[in-house]
Structure 1
Amino acid sequence: MTAEADARKAQGRYEGAIPLLKRALALYENVLGTNHPTVAKALSNLGVLHRERGDYAQAEQLHRRALAMREKALGPDHPVVASSLNDLSVLYRTKGDYARAESLAERALALREKALGPDHPDVAQSLATLAVLCGDKGDYARSESLHQRALAIREEALGGGHPDVALSLNDLAALYRAKRDYAQAELLSERALAIQENALPPDHPAVALALNNVAVLYGKRGDYARAEPMHQRALAIQRKVLAPDHPDVAQTFHFLASLYLDKGDYARAEGLSERALAIRKKALGPSHPDVAQSLSHLAALHIAQSRIDEAVATAGLATDIQDRNAAAVLATGSEDQKRSYMSTLVDQTHLAIALHIQHAPATLDAARLALTVLFRRKGRVLDAMTGNFASLRLSRDPGDGALIARLTSVYSQLAAEVSRGPQNAPPAQYRERLAALEQQREALEAEVGKRSASFRAEQKPVLLPDVQAAIPEGAALVEIAQYRPYHLRPDTRSGHWGAPRYVAYVLGPGGDPAFTDLGEAAPLEAAVDALRRALADHDLTHDPRPAARDLDRLLMDPVRKLLGDTRWVFLSLDGPLHLVPFGALVDEEGQYLVERYLFSYLTTGRDLLRFEDRKAASREPPLILANPAFDESSAPPAPEATHRGVRSIDMVTQRLLPLQGTTAEARTIAEFFPESRVLLGAHATEEAVKAVQGPLLLHLATHGFFLPEQPVPAALLTTPGHSPTLAELAALRQRENPLLRSGIALAGFNRRRSGSDDGVLTALETAGIDLHGTRLVVLSTCESGLGEATSGEGVYGLRRALTMAGSETQVMSLWQVDSGRTRELMQAYYQRLAGGAGRSQAMRDVQLAMRAEPSTAHPNLWASFIVSGDWRRMETQVRSPEAGKVAKGARGCACEQTGGEPHAHGAWLAALLGFLVAARRRRSPRA
């Protein structure tokens, strides 16, 4: 009976195989008892058949029984146990439960590799299972590596014509299709189809799968005449051998519906889309990712038919499902894995915005949907990582604290390796060290996510009314996002998507959201670059106003029409707009916007809810660190290598000069906080900063850096007799992580000792510091607000790291700053905080006073610092010391400079006093 059942299964005749296996199972149980390994094997085989026909509840019950029997009879580490684990993993992946599926797949792979060796076909099966999961979650690099390894094992062990080789080829083709590498995907799909048709019966389900894969790719290049009959043939096979409500049937309906949509045959497309949706809801459940896919497709179809209300409703259902699933996925995994998963939702985010902007600009529900999607998805990875760290920081379990400590230690080791470079080590050895540390980082971040998953998964979905209720009276939120327009008819190069554009939504504490399309991204981003260059130019005879006006005309002119009389603006930006100080823009009347608006910078409008829900209390007094002893070691400096092999060569060979003037800055600021600790010179160390536990304030006055990305040096990519592995290549790319290319210099920087206290505090290490409860971090350094600006996730640099570490508000600079003026700006900023001003308002007051004084009127001198995060007053009283003259000294981030005494800058401080008196007499937005 089992032989006949296996034969029918091989032919894809599942309905005929199931009764035979049930009879065999009953016979085995009567003869051998209910706990025999042969009974477990029959249960497992029966579970696979039920999964293949779409009966997932029955399949899970059978697989769990088989697993329990095998673990009891053979022990938990037996390779046969791994078979049950793999079966369950495939089942949970099919159901969309990626977290459980991945855990089981990892365990099965580890057992099989240990018991069977790395080249066994069963190992290939586990590799393929895990690879498909990684692809589903957007981790394409890891997925490709696993698929390639599975394919190599199968070709070597089974031969190039085996059906399992075709499975690997199909899986790889699907991955390349997801990456939009259609040419490579087509080659692999055609090869897989040829193998399946040669090795299997013509009506086998695997043949139908291969036919669909090839047909989809023909459709992508517009060859509908070849694609349609292949889909129809696949459907005929599935109708013959599968149940009518099998998910594979729904997938073929979906493929055909997509083809008809692209051809403009909307009636046929709609019928098939509806049938696919009905099957998926029934077979997979209402929250499965495939259900969201069908709903998104229906929304696109409704757009094409100008059925806008239905399109908005359907797209809303799809995004709700996607966001619920995202909450579960983002609760676990490393930062890279979270970012990869969110990348799989980018098209659907763009569709929600394009639905409103292009196709339903007058439909209020469409505007609400687009803005809700932005609230839920912008900065989502940053929120998830911050939440993971916070959950463990607040936990009373000693194991959670130990896990955080191990992770931060790996951050430090990785930063040290990148900072020092290979030195005298062979490139291959250096690659291996980096790869080992990178694997530890990934594993530890994933473990952090796993241990905090229960906290993160319970979060409520963000709703537009909740965000609106958190906007203070008299203020408005401006949410700016990049999106790509959706074209009804695809082209063979970009599919349905057009060139990137920007949109701005404006939301007040009451009323409906307003919007304006800001146009194509390219000219706007070119204007951003031009203004940033103009503002950073230290030649104060150069006027940045034309560039500031050009950007304002593209960006804020349209927004101003929506703001009306509002003068307090929360800015949630996107892409390189994060690197613009909006106060330095110039309006149509030639006025700097700092004179017109109070700007408060956010990562996302969702931040307004986070600030209302503040839980952590400060646990330490303020820490003020300044004038690090960069040459604190008595050892001679390391010789400059002719080749460091790392991007940080600029940092490694750089020697920094003392910042004597920052000592006076630190002591002046300490007068505002009587309980503060001040660390200077040799005491201003990296370890001192890493050791903090939620200080009320962290003020760092030193050199900062952000290094631009450069290609991996060829010397690190090639070693005689040794080619870098995929893991090593991935680790080398990690060297270009912007969190490793940005940071600050501390004591010992010029000596660059080995160990975790090497004088270089990178942003990656900063992310591991405990700043939960820290109300304000001030980086009185150069370029501390810079980083790699990404669409949807903010700035990867110190700004992001400090948020991940738990700090509420960050003050940082966007270009190199003048020494004496920075010191005086900081003194005036704290003076305003002591007077009760909010954290954003205090900076605006100071900048207005500088702007009013001729010697500091140039925006290069007053606009560099921005305040990001919580804008409100600090609830702890900041004491106002008696005004006194601040000692002069040199600081500046041109590290070669010896630094002269600053010119007389104190005049604008007097102007500040006059400004403050006048400010009391007029209405001004206050936090």
Structure 2
Amino acid sequence: MNYHRCTGSRWGALLFFLIAVSATLSGQSPEQLLEAEEYAAAAEAFWQRGSRTDLLKAGEAWSAVDSFLPARQAYAALMKEDNGTPIIDSLSGLAQHKIGVSHYNEYDDAGAASAYRKAILIRDEVFTQAHKDQAHSRRNLANCLSYLGQTDSATLLLREAIDIYETVQPTDSVNWLRSLQDLSQVSAQVRDYQTGVSASRRAISLLHKTSAADVYDAHYVYYTSGVTFYTFQELEEAATAAKEALKYGEEIGDPLEIGQTLNLLGAINDDLGNDQEKIAYWERAINYLTENEVGKAEIGRLHFNLARAKGGTGEITAAFGHVAEARALLTEDAPDYLPRLFSVEGVVFRETGNHEKALAAFNAGLQLLAPYAADELAYPNPDSLSADELETAADLLGDRARTLVSLGRPEAALTDYTLLFALQDQLRTRVSADESRSYLSQNLRPYFDQAITLLYGLHQKEPAAGHDWSAFELSERAKAYTLLANLKQNQDAMPRQEAELRARIAELERSLDTKATNEELLAAARLQLDRLVQSKRKEIVTPDFGIDRQELHSLLSDTGSDLLAFHLGKKDGYRFYFSTDGQLQFTALQNTAALAPSIRRWRASIQEGAYRRKSLLSAEEQGAFDEVFLREGQFLLRQLLSDESLDLGENLCIIPDGPLALLPFGALPLTEEKPPLNYAGLTYLQSAHRIRYAYSATVLRELSERPAVSYQHNLLGFAPSFGGEASAEAVGRSVSLAARLGERALVGLQPLRFNRAEVEDIADMVPGTRIFVGDKATRSRFLEELGDGQILHLSTHGMVNAADPKLSFVAFTQRGDSLELEELLYYNDLTALPLQTELVVLSACETSLGTYVPGETTLSLATAFTAAGARSTLTTLWQVDDAATRDLMVAFYRELATGKDRSEALSAAQLAQLEGGDFAHPYFWSAMTLYGEAGAIDFAGGGINWYYLAGALVGFLLMGGYVLHYNKQKRGADAGAGKS
């Protein structure tokens, strides 16, 4: 944070006595002395007068001439009665706050922090409602703690201050603005993407609305926002903010501010790939600062940037020249920047092939972060580093590890990678927003890929050394981090305010308009949510995202499953096969770059070449699809599973990675035939194996350890009705536009002919079922009932938006000709749901699809339900046929009701469809994928089958009416007979 601190000296008691005598002799009042800027004399005169207000003015006057010790004595005096009893009121709160300011101006951050804490205690007791003074003390304390390296506490205090400024009236818009920028800066230091970006957007919006801010505030807001956006690679926003900052900087006329902003613009253009522009900005900044004889540290950083740029273009001599210039300037004026300079120097040496000098440079940078390292290689302690140093150290370790590999020192490289991952874990556990975690995970994933490749090489040389398990552990840590973090949160314990705020954020995320009206509201809501979440955290604890080998063996043995886990990097790919006997195989995949295009072609052949019983395409067209299905399917089989040493068991649990998440493994053909194909007669992987999937073994373990829950119903089924003509894709394309335009209705969805029959048939097989069909299958009813069902079954329309997962949805009942936005349940609605169900079945289109995030997993409706707490999900990989899905679902539940486990029941249902004739093509049966727990579901108890109870009651009433009617007729007949 950039704050001005005063310097000064302390006055002796004799000097103050002489000044006091002088003031007395002059006959001037304290106010006259103050007006004449005779601060010391005025201070003593106020002191002599002695009221509490006078003591406050005395302290302020002494502070004006940097006489902080007597100033603090004056402030302390007004806070007590004559007998020493503390006075607790707003004036005492102000005095204690000013004591903090005095310590701060003497660079005594610890003393200032202690004083601000006391000020907060007083002000929180005095003010029964939110008051801006409470926010002031929190902001100042946060500033001190930031200097002391306590960024987490500083961040929490800034969140609290901002929350107060948001609510109090009249507010202090300038300090509110500055608090937002302070939060933005701290968030950039700890790499909390969501908080930093939200704070900057909120600050820019507030700046446009307040007239109290001056040109200095405007420059500060735009410059800090530009740095924050640049840090988190929001480059277009960064460029816009930096250009505004330059405009205000030139208006101020401060050469250093202008030079820093030019440097920022150069860095932004560097990341945008604008090579000429970045060099021009940096050289312009150097010339400007040199001409004005200011900013040696900034000039050093500019030479640092130019060294990096010249090294990247092969201008080695020029690069080393800039390194020398940077070192000369930074050593004296900005030594904290030297580790980054050594990083650049090392990269330049590595580009020239001089790995020894590169190693020396990287190590020198790390030695500056680990001054007490005694070994040849320096290893910084993660707990001793600031958040900014954590990332610098991680970059240096990654570069040094690559260099050590080149020098034939793989064990030392592994040590570097291990420490790098520990450093990054420190960063990931500091943030709470999914977007922030994903940002860090994506940056970290390439290091995991490099380390696993290194371990594979070591495993080839020493197969029994345990490198295979080490690689598997790293692969686990490289996947589904955010999903696991969400699972570890206690959803049931979520406060109502937090749940409502999450729901509000979800709605705002979907309805951002071009005028940025909702963007301001969204930023404010995100900041408020972040404060709520962070305020519940007692301390930072790195979660255990690993899994013990014996633990995994036991977990898989319980279900008799072999584990197939894949890890795909940009260049290399690997397969881990963990069998039920506890053996692990670690295998390199060949030609991994060909996997993604092959999967696309194979899926297209399945979807476009599907038919029931007989193809309606020409023999030539159908033959082409058949040929692609066989060719690409068998290529994928060879690449992924064909291995003489691979002896797959009957039950398989597959952990896909990257494009493999889109692959229905069960449909891979095991037999070779020539077109035309008889799909019912082919042998598939599904023919011999029961297949389920997992996001990671660690997620699987977490799901298995979730506590048992009592349910009111065994199954809750929903079959909404629709009366439009649009497909789910067409509606999906219009969702964002409708929300932005403020429209509440969309075109109607096409009817589903078989979804009602599907849930009614299921209800007939599963005891303790309650279903909602037609007008009763509403979103609100689903949200009311979801905690009561062991299984949630949704037979409806669904759509995945790969470009923006937040717009993915499942639809509930449509009323009339149009579909209301309120009847859609979105991906980001699910985070606030208290969902601890055994199984969620989304009998809808494409609910397993989504955007893949490296270092995380696919962002789909299936993962959203898993993150909300579902032990397992059954979802689809493409648009499914309504009738075929009905048959498949009915067969699945029929098998499940007999006591079969989930994967066995699904496999049996799929094989039955494959062998049945009508739906033998893989398009109809292979889209359904089971993720998570595979065990059987106990349908004992489960409450009352309300649907059939209602049916029986209606039947009873009808029968009762019939009996009464019959008896009445009979009595009439008997009476007539008697009369005759």
TM-score, normalised with respect to structure 1: 0.73
- What's 2:352 paired with? 263
SS at match of 1:504: strand
**Measured at CA, do residues 786 and 295 of structure 1 come closer, stay the same or move farther in structure 2, by a change above 3 Å?**
closer
CA contact (8 A) 2:139 2:157 kept: no
Corresponding position of 2:523: 439
Partner of 1:697: helix, strand, or coil?
strand
Match of 1:682 among 745, 762, 775: 775
C-alpha separation in 1, matches of 2:850 and 2:574: 23
Trace 1:296-311 onto structure 2 (pairs within 5 A): 296-311=398-413
Aligned to 1:502: 573
Paired with 2:137 and 2:734, the residues of 1 have a C-alpha distance of 54
Counterpart in the other structure of 2:382? 286
Alignment of 1:99-248 (within 5 A): 103=159, 110-111=177-178, 117-122=212-217, 124-125=219-220, 128=223, 132=227, 147=242, 149-156=244-251, 158-159=252-253, 162-174=255-267, 177=270, 184-201=277-294, 204-241=296-333, 246-248=335-337
Tell me, yes or no, if the aligned pair for 2:486 and 2:867 is still in contact at 8 Å.
yes
Contact 1:783 1:816 (C-alpha < 8 Å) held by counterparts: yes
* Distance verdict in 2 for CA 1:263–1:118, change over 3 Å: farther
Asked whether 1:407 is paired with 2:446, we answer no
Cα distance between partner residues in 1 of 2:912 and 2:640: 28
User: Is this contact kept in 1: 2:508–2:518, CA < 8 A?
Assistant: no
Q: Secondary structure at the match of 1:587?
A: coil
Which of the numbers 617, 629, 639 marks the counterpart of 1:547?
629
Partner in structure 2 of residue 322 of structure 1? 424
CA contact (8 A) 2:99 2:112 kept: no
1:828 aligns to 2:923 (yes or no): no
- Cα distance in 2 for partners of 1:506, 1:362 equals 19
> Does the residue aligned with 1:828 lie in a helix, a strand or coil?
helix
Q: In structure 2, which of residues 561, 566, 590 is the aligned counterpart of residue 480 of structure 1?
A: 566
Q: Are residue 523 (structure 1) and residue 624 (structure 2) matched? A: no
Equivalent pairs counted in the alignment come to 776
8 Å CA contact retained: 1:568, 1:597 = yes
Structure 1 residues 620-679: Cα deviation after superposition (integer angstroms, max 9, x where no partner): 4245444423359xxxxxx9x999946999997653344353333222212344332211
Deviations, residues 107-165 of structure 1 (Å, cap 9, x unaligned): 86535679983444256446655665665566667666655554444333x23x62022
Q: Is the Cα contact below 8 Å between 2:480 and 2:857 reproduced in 1?
A: yes
Cα pair 2:734 2:746 within 8 Å, conserved: no
Once the two structures are superposed, residues 251-296 of structure 1 have per-residue CA deviations (whole angstroms, 9 ceiling, x without a partner) of 3223222222222222222223222212212498534313333222
Long gaps (5+) in structure 1: 7-23, 48-58, 419-426, 486-500, 633-638, 710-735, 883-927
SS of the equivalent of 1:306 reads coil
The one-letter code matched in structure 2 to 1:547 is: F
The code of the aligned residue for 2:780 comes to E
1:343/1:783 CA distance change after superposition, 3 Å: closer
Which residue of structure 2 lines up, in the alignment, with residue 699 of structure 1? Answer: 793
Q: Which residue of 2 aligns with 1:718?
A: none
Q: Give the aligned partner of residue 845 of structure 2.
A: 782
**C-alpha spacing 1:101/1:448, structure 2 compared with 1 (3 Å):** closer
User: Which residue in the other structure is 2:25 paired with?
Assistant: none
Q: Tell me by how many angstroms 1:340 deviates.
A: 2.1
Matches of 2:146 and 2:313, distance apart in 1: 31
> Secondary structure, in 3 states, of the residue corresponding to 2:430?
helix
CA deviations on 1:503-537 (whole Å, 9 max, x unpaired) are 32333456564333334554211111112112223
Matching residue's letter, 1:319: F
Mapped to 2, the partners of 1:621 and 1:125 lie a distance apart of 58
CA offset at residue 833 of structure 1? 1.3
Per-residue deviation at 1:384?
Answer: 2.9
Encode CA deviations 1:864-923: one digit per residue, 9 max, x unaligned.
Answer: 2111121222244389999xxxxxxxxxxxxxxxxxxxxxxxxxxxxxxxxxxxxxxxxx
Could you say if the C-alpha distance between residues 327 and 618 of structure 1 is closer, same or farther in structure 2, counting changes exceeding 3 Å? farther
Structure 2: how far apart are the matches of 1:834 and 1:281?
62
CA offsets 1:177-205 (integer angstroms, 9 cap, x no match): 56766555444333333333233358x33
Secondary structure in 1 aligned to 2:405?
A: helix
1:377 corresponding residue in structure 2: 478
Question: Take 2:412 and 2:153, find their aligned partners in 1: how far apart are those partners?
Answer: 29
> C-alpha distance in 2, partners of 1:294/1:193?
27
Task: Verify: 1:61 aligned to 2:90, yes or no.
Answer: no
- What code does the residue aligned with 1:553 have? F
Change (3 A) 1:171 1:622: farther
In the alignment, is residue 811 of structure 1 matched against residue 910 of structure 2? no
Question: 1:269 and 1:409, CA in 2 relative to 1: closer, same or farther beyond 3 A?
Answer: closer
The answer to whether the Cα contact below 8 Å between 2:714 and 2:768 also exists between their aligned partners in 1 is: yes
Name the SS of the counterpart of 2:935 in structure 1: coil
Letter paired with 2:439: S
Q: 1:91 matched to which residue of 2?
A: 147
8 Å Cα contact 1:66-1:84 kept in structure 2: no
Which amino acid in 1 is paired with 2:435?
A: D
Q: Is the 8 A contact 1:250 1:279 kept in 2?
A: yes
Task: Report whether the alignment pairs 1:344 with 2:443.
Answer: yes
The letter for the 2-side match of 1:164 is E
In the TM superposition, 1:408-423 aligns within 5 A as 408-412=503-507, 415=510, 417=511
Q: Distance in 1 between matches of 2:401 and 2:819?
A: 57
Rounded to whole Å, the distance in 2 between the matches of 1:604 and 1:750 is 43
Deviation, 1:601, is 0.8
How many Å apart are 1:683 and its aligned residue? Answer: 0.7
- Residue in 2 that maps onto 1:655: 748
Shift of 1:366: 5.2
Displacement of 1:301 in angstroms is 1.3
1:763 matched residue in structure 2: 827
State which of 677, 682, 687 in structure 2 corresponds to 1:595: 687
Shift of the 823–362 alpha-carbon distance from structure 1 to 2, 3 Å rule, reads same
5 Å-filtered alignment, 1:586-625, equals: 586-587=669-670, 591-615=683-707, 617-622=709-714, 624-625=716-717
Deviation at 1:478, TM superposition (A): 2.2
**Amino acid paired to 1:44:** Y
Over 3 Å counting, the alpha-carbon distance change for 1:224 and 1:116 in structure 2 is farther
User: 1:407 corresponds to which letter in structure 2?
Assistant: R
Higher helix residue share: 2
Whether the aligned pair in 1 keeps the contact of 2:844 and 2:875 (CA below 8 Å) is yes
Of 652-661 and 516-525, deviating more is 652-661
The 8 Å contact of residues 703 and 744 in structure 1, kept in 2 or not, is answered as yes
Distance 1:510 1:264, change over 3 A: farther
Hey, what does 1:393 align to over in structure 2? 492
The answer on whether the counterparts of 2:809 and 2:824 sit within 8 Å (CA) in structure 1 is no
Distance in 2 (CA, whole Å) between partners of 1:308 and 1:68 is 50
**AA partner of residue 443 (structure 2):** T
Partner in structure 1 of residue 67 of structure 2: 28
What code does the residue aligned with 1:591 have? T
Report the CA distance between 1:614 and its aligned residue.
0.8
The code of the aligned residue for 1:765 comes to D
The answer to whether the Cα contact below 8 Å between 1:125 and 1:150 also exists between their aligned partners in 2 is: yes
| Distance 1:248-1:435 versus aligned 2 partners, 3 A rule | closer
Partner residue, 1:465? 549
- Greater relative contact order structure (CA < 8 Å, 6+ sep): 1
Distance 1:405 1:4 in 2: 45
Partner SS, residue 702 of structure 2 = helix
Of 905, 924, 929, which residue of structure 2 is paired with 1:842? 905
> 1:106: how far off?
6.4
What percent identity do the matched residue pairs reach?
20
CA 594–60 in structure 1, closer or farther in 2 if over 3 Å, else same: farther
Cα gap change, 1:678 to 1:239, in 2 (>3 Å): closer
Aligned residue for 1:903?
A: none
Aligned match of 1:355 in 454, 475, 490?
454
